[in-house]
Amino acid sequence: MMCRSRSINWLSWFGYYKLPDSNPIVISNEERGENFFDRQSGYVSRRSFLTSVRNDMVVWVSYNNFQSYIKTPTFIAVSIIKEQKAISAVLDDYRKQLDLIPDDTFDITPPSGGWSCAEVYSHIMQASMASTIAMERCTHGTAKPTNKKLNFWGMYVMLTNRFPPIKIKVPPKVEAKWPATKISKEDARNLIIKLRKRVDEMAILINTTPSVRRSQHPRLGMLNAEQWLKFIRIHLQHHLRQIGRVKKEMKIA
């Protein structure tokens, strides 16, 4: 790794390095993301700098001092096309699972408790549609520009592409507005079609949306349109894994 006159310590969770002095540091994506450039230190290779982030992520970070490394990066860029394709692929998986789960077990609560497959489908499809509404506030300008950004857990989710390894309950207000119910397979299929169409419609508008327009997420802080799109994909993948666990407990092949 190339870095002149500067010692680097790793922030293990995210692969960021923390800088001990108080000089402003800007790391921006240069050469179409092939390298990360520290304007004061020289080039730092992308592979060395951001080891824990997927290859399709480009991160632009501004630090003012050592303590600020736990604060939200100025901007996290999202590959809109890749996210859109990933969402389409995971929705295909949800559709395939409906054919694999027997009709008579789709709405059965697992022995250990928790949601049935039907309730998981109900939750994730409703929550994803709600996320597109938040995205629409950003793309249509009804979300006001703000300097507020992702909180700590929002940063974690955006950078690791996963929810934190702790049990997270649906916020009471969200649960009251969009309760998880035992929907039918036909309802689930229709919701998948509706969500896919909605995501495709919204993704077209993201490129022309200022990133300072953000909408509040109940757990992750303020998300802009690109981050809402990414959150939809991460959330869908999270609950698809839950479907797999429910199937395993119910001994569904």
Q: What domains sit in the chain, N to C, each tagged with a CATH number?
A: 9-71 (no CATH), 78-249 (1.20.120.450)
pLDDT confidence of residue 169:
77
Averaged pLDDT for residues 208-224: 89
pLDDT confidence of residue 242:
95
Contacts of 186 (CB under 8 A, 6+ apart): none
Give the C-alpha distances (Å, rounded to integers) separating 73 from 33, 49, 58, 69, 144. Answer: 16, 15, 12, 8, 20
Q: What is the pLDDT of residues 224-249, one digit of tens each?
A: 999 999 999 999 999 999 999 999 99
Instruction: Pick the range with the lowest mean pLDDT from 27-31, 83-87, 137-141.
Output: 27-31
The model scores a pTM over 0.75: no
- Report the C-alpha gap between 214 and 142 in whole angstroms: 10
- 251 or 29: which carries more pLDDT confidence? 251
pLDDT confidence of residue 78:
63
Averaged pLDDT for residues 46-54: 34
Best CA proximity match to 192, nearest among 81, 80, 78, 89? 89
Contacts of 221 (CB under 8 A, 6+ apart): 72, 148, 149, 150, 151, 153, 154
pLDDT confidence of residue 188:
98
pLDDT confidence of residue 65:
30
Averaged pLDDT for residues 66-82: 51
Location of structure tokens 């590959």: 79
- 32 or 132: which carries more pLDDT confidence? 132
Q: What are 155's two structure tokens? A: 């940063």
Give the C-alpha distances (Å, rounded to integers) separating 235 from 60, 79, 149, 163, 231. Answer: 23, 17, 19, 8, 6
Name the strand (E) or helix (H) holding 9: strand 9-11
Work out the end-to-end distance of the chain between its first and last CA atoms, rounded to an integer number of angstroms. 47
- 52 or 242: which carries more pLDDT confidence? 242
pLDDT confidence of residue 30:
35
- 78 or 25: which carries more pLDDT confidence? 78
Best CA proximity match to 41, nearest among 56, 57, 63? 63
Q: What is the pLDDT of residues 101-156, one digit of tens each?
A: 999 999 999 999 999 999 999 999 999 999 999 999 999 888 888 889 999 999 99
Q: What is the pLDDT of residues 160-213, one digit of tens each?
A: 999 988 877 777 877 778 789 999 999 999 999 999 999 999 998 887 778 888
Q: What are 106's two structure tokens? A: 């789709």
